[in-house]
């Protein structure tokens, strides 16, 4: 486990939060609904329920029955005969999925009425007329023998996954015939409603009052019965009385299964179509066997999405490379499998939102970390290269006094020199070694400053001698380029601070002005007082800088393009050190510059004792 360098940035958290919000919003769209529906069907096919002993039988008005009775209208006699046989078997309930609202041949209706009278727990069907304003009722003569009248609707959406347990026309509400049949079979007087369930006898059916949708747990299709529920043809029952025993203790669902008649053939999650009567029988089975599905709560769904996104964030924060990717894949697998696991436990979990949350957050976190790490790597590599360059330069600088010392001492040892020459050489060795010591001291001081140790030496000194020393040291450089170092308005002020460091700062500005100016130009130095401050400025007629460059010159190792191509040796650390030195002296630097025209660097320092002055700042303009 490798801890990431750096901290969790707001950007990283933002990416994860964005992924999460996008996934949750997407999960509420109609397209997501369709995808979730398809995933539901797929899980249905992958995880069919264990077979159970059916509690219902379908008395089917099939093609043969219709052919024999010559159509639906003359069916009532056949139906009456069939029902009489069914009632001898003592069924638990008989639900008729037919709308018997029209009068037929009187003899036929008489026969059917008589059969209904003999049928226990009879449930008749009623239909909402298309504008939902009222019910199309069974004839009163039939209705009076019905223990209940229910609705026969089964709605596709476009696949019939659920049955709406009640429908309303005006103030007249009807339960589904399957629910009424179940109530009667349970021997319950009424159905007790609560916001999340319906209580029928001892059975609690988990449906929300808001939509009253019962997810149907279709039994797996079996050989011989498309729906897994046994079917007896009405015609065959009438031909063979022995078939009646099949209805013993079962709920009987009577309706059209003939392809030509069943106007409401609906697609089911198993990708087979069923008629309305079969769907009601399936809903009955779901209730009778208590194999309910419950929709997952929104809290559980959002909680899971949040956990997945947080997981992705943690994985890519604490792990790198293959372990991170492997854990990312694991998270994706989890998001894909949790809906399956929930399904196996009877909880319907939306599929798209968690899967999308997982993909977006894993990809987002991985991409973020990849680019951030790459950027950090690039930055540290270029910092390293610049640092090496700086070290190279420093050692190179130190070599010149060393070479002078070496050369002089060698000469002194090898040849017998006259006194004057010897004295000259000894002086040279002395001054060069002092220069070397000063150089080392300065670099050590700089290191100290860079490390953030702010304790600087505090001595009181005059500004003028410092400036003169710098000018003297810079003079040979200026002469080499025939640059005039012109002093104007020089006043002296007393300062408190680290003389060596301030000298380094001024000298640096002077050498920069010389380095970045063409030959035969003028560098003007001023030192004036303004209020309680001293303003020491160095202005040149050199290459100058634009706004963007000005904003960067105080950064360590930064050099402008023009400086790089000028042929002047440099490291880009000088100004960053000058800035730190001045800051430590409670001052600031002002820079004005125009590309091609020249620059002016002004050191602004508090005069007198270096007391607790306002903290440093820089201002730029050009
Ligand atoms: P160096 O001179 O070693 O490159 P510095 O830190 O002293 O580093 O300066 C940083 C950069 O600022 C220089 O590389 C140069 O691009 C720019 N710069 C500094 N002083 C001047 C100046 N007087 N005129 C133009 N550019 C300057």
State the pLDDT at residue 445: 65
Confidence of residue 158 (pLDDT cuts 50, 70, 90): confident
| Ligand 1 centre distance from Cα of residue 126 (Å) | 93
Q: Which atom of ligand 1 is nearest to the CA of 571?
A: 3
- Ligand 1 centre to CA of 583 (Å) is 18
Report the atom number in ligand 1 closest to the C-alpha of 575: 6
Q: Which of 397, 504, 547, 574 is the best mutation target for the ligand 1 pocket, counting ligand atoms within 8 Å of the beta carbon and taking the most?
A: 574
Residue that is written with structure tokens 């003359």 in the block = 74
Residue with tokens 């040796």: 569
Give 438 Cα–ligand 1 centroid separation in angstroms.
23
Task: Report which of 516, 515, 520, 533 is spatially closest to residue 590, judged by C-alpha positions.
Answer: 533
pLDDT at 321: 86
Say whether 459 sits in a helix, a strand or coil.
Answer: strand
The pLDDT of 356-367, averaged and rounded, is: 95
Q: How confident is the model at residue 359 (pLDDT cuts 50, 70, 90)?
A: very high
Q: How far is the CA of 363 from the centre of ligand 1 (A)?
A: 43
What does pTM read for this prediction? 0.63
Atom of ligand 1 nearest to the CA of 562: 16
Q: Which of 575, 577, 578, 620, when mutated, tests ligand 1's pocket best, judged by the most ligand atoms within 8 Å of its CB?
A: 575
Model pLDDT, residue 265: 80
Q: What is the pLDDT of residues 37-46, one digit of tens each?
A: 999 999 989 9
Provide the 3-class DSSP secondary structure of residue 36. Answer: helix
Q: Which domains does the chain have, with CATH numbers?
A: 6-41+296-378 (no CATH), 51-290 (no CATH), 381-449 (1.10.287.130), 455-606 (3.30.565.10)
Q: How far apart are alpha carbons 154 and 603 in whole angstroms?
A: 87
Distance between CA atoms of residues 215 and 197, nearest Å: 13
Q: Which of 563, 566, 599 to mutate to test the pocket of ligand 1 (most atoms within 8 A of CB)?
A: 563
pLDDT digits (tens, 9 = 90+) for 190-212: 999 999 899 999 999 999 888 88
Scanning 70-148, the segments in alpha helix (DSSP H) are 75-88, 106-117, 140-143
Do residues 470 and 507 lie in contact, with contact meaning Cβ atoms separated by under 8 Å? Answer: yes
Atom of ligand 1 nearest to the CA of 560: 16
What residues flank ligand 1, with Cβ below 6 Å?
508, 512-513, 516, 540, 542-545, 553, 558-560, 563, 570-576, 599
Ligand 1 atom 25 nearest Cα = 544
pLDDT in tens, 543-597: 999 999 999 999 877 889 999 898 887 777 789 888 888 988 889 999 999 999 9
Cα(2) to ligand 1 centroid in Å equals 40
Confidence of residue 390 (pLDDT cuts 50, 70, 90): low
Determine which residue's CA is closest to atom 3 belonging to ligand 1.
Answer: 570
Cα–Cα dist 339/69, whole Å: 49
Distance 91 CA to ligand 1 centre (A): 101
Ligand 1 centre and the CA of 288: distance in Å? 88
Other CB atoms within 10 A of residue 242 CB: 8
Residue bearing the bigger pLDDT, 185 or 403? 185
Using alpha carbons, list the distances in angstroms from residue 428 to 424, 431, 465: 6, 5, 23
- Name the residue with the closest Cα to ligand 1, atom 7: 574
Q: Are 38 and 207 in contact (CB under 8 A)?
A: no
Provide the 3-class DSSP secondary structure of residue 192: strand
Report the separation in Å between the CA atom of 572 and the middle of ligand 1, taken as the mean of its atom positions: 7
Q: Which atom belonging to ligand 1 lies closest to the Cα atom of 572?
A: 8
Separation of 232 CA from ligand 1 center, angstroms?
Answer: 99
pLDDT of residue 416: 83
pLDDT on residue 583: 87
3-state secondary structure of 518: coil
pLDDT digits (tens, 9 = 90+) for 468-486: 999 998 898 899 899 999 9
Residue 263 scores a pLDDT above 80: no
């Amino acid at each position: 486990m490798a801890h990431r360098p750096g901290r969790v940035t707001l950007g990283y958290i933002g990416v994860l939060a964005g992924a999460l919000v996008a996934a949750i919003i997407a999960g509420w769209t109609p397209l997501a609904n369709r995808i979730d529906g398809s995933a539901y069907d797929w899980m249905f096919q992958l995880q069919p329920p264990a077979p159970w002993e059916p509690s219902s039988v379908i008395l089917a008005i099939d093609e043969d029955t219709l052919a024999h009775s010559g159509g639906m209208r003359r069916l009532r006699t056949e139906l009456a005969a069939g029902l009489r046989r069914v009632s001898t078997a003592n069924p638990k309930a008989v639900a008729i999925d037919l709308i018997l609202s029209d009068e037929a041949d009187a003899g036929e209706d008489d026969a059917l009425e008589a059969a209904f009278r003999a049928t226990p727990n009879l449930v008749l069907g009623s239909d909402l007329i298309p504008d939902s304003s009222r019910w199309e009722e069974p004839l009163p003569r039939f209705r009076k023998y019905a223990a209940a009248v229910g609705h026969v609707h089964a709605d596709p959406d476009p696949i019939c996954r659920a049955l709406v347990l009640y429908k309303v026309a005006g103030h007249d509400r009807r339960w589904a015939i399957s629910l009424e049949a179940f109530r009667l079979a349970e021997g319950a007087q009424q159905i007790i409603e609560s916001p999340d369930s319906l209580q029928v006898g001892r059975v609690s059916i988990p449906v929300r009052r808001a939509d009253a949708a019962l997810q149907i747990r279709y039994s797996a299709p079996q050989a011989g019965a498309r729906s897994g529920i046994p079917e007896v043809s009405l015609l065959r029952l009438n031909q063979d009385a022995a078939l009646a025993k099949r209805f013993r203790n079962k709920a009987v669902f009577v309706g059209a299964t003939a392809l030509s008649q069943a106007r409401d053939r609906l697609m089911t999650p198993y990708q087979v179509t069923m008629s309305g009567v079969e769907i009601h029988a399936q809903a009955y089975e779901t209730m009778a066997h208590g194999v309910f599905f419950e929709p997952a709560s929104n809290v559980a769904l959002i909680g899971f999405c949040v956990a997945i996104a947080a997981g992705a964030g943690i994985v890519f924060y604490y792990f790198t490379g293959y372990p991170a990717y492997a854990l990312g894949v694991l998270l994706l697998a989890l998001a894909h499998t949790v809906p399956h696991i929930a399904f196996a436990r009877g909880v319907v979990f939306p599929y798209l939102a968690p899967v999308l949350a997982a993909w977006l957050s894993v990809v987002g976190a991985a991409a973020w970390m990849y680019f951030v790490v790459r950027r950090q790597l690039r930055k540290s590599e270029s910092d390293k290269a610049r640092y090496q360059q700086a070290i190279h330069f420093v050692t190179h600088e130190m070599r010149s006094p060393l070479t002078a010392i070496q050369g002089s001492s060698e000469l002194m040892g090898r040849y017998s020199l006259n006194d004057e020459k010897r004295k000259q050489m000894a002086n040279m060795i002395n001054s060069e070694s002092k220069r070397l010591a000063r150089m080392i001291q300065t670099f050590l001081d700089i290191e100290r400053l860079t490390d953030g140790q702010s304790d600087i030496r505090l001595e009181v000194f005059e500004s003028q001698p410092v400036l003169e020393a710098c000018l003297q040291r810079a003079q040979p450089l200026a002469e080499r380029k025939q640059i005039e170092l012109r002093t104007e308005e020089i006043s002296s002020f007393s300062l408190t601070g680290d003389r060596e460091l301030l000298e380094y700062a001024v000298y640096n500005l002077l050498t920069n002005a010389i380095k970045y100016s063409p030959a035969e130009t003028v560098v003007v130095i001023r030192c004036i007082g303004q209020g309680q401050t001293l303003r020491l400025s160095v202005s040149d007629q050199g290459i100058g800088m634009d706004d963007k460059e000005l904003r960067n010159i105080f950064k360590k190792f930064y050099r402008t393009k023009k400086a790089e191509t000028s042929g002047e040796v440099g490291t880009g650390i000088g100004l960053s050190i000058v800035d730190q030195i001045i800051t430590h002296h409670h001052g600031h630097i002002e820079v004005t510059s125009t590309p091609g025209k020249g620059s002016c660097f002004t050191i602004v320092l508090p005069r007198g004792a270096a007391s607790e002055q306002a903290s440093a700042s820089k201002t730029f303009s050009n």
